[in-house]
Amino acid sequence: MKKFEYRVLLADWATCERLLNQEGRNGWELVGNTREEYPTDNKKNNQVMLTLKRLMSV
Sheet with 4-12, strands from edge to edge, namely 4-12, 43-55, 29-40
Exposure on the CB side of residue 7, measured as CA atoms within 13 A: 16
Decide if pLDDT at 3 tops 80. Answer: yes
Q: Write phi, then psi, for 42 (nearest 5 degrees).
A: 60, 20
CATH number of the domain enclosing 18: 3.30.110.20
What's the pTM? 0.78
How many independent structural domains does the chain possess?
A: 1
For residue 17, what are the domain limits?
A: 4-55
Q: What is the tens place of the pLDDT at every residue in 37-57?
A: 665 655 566 788 999 999 998
Q: 3-state SS of 1-58?
A: CCCEEEEEEEEEHHHHHHHHHHHHHCCCEEEEEEEEEEEECCEEEEEEEEEEEEECCC
Q: What is the tens place of the pLDDT at every residue in 8-35?
A: 999 888 888 999 999 999 999 999 988 7
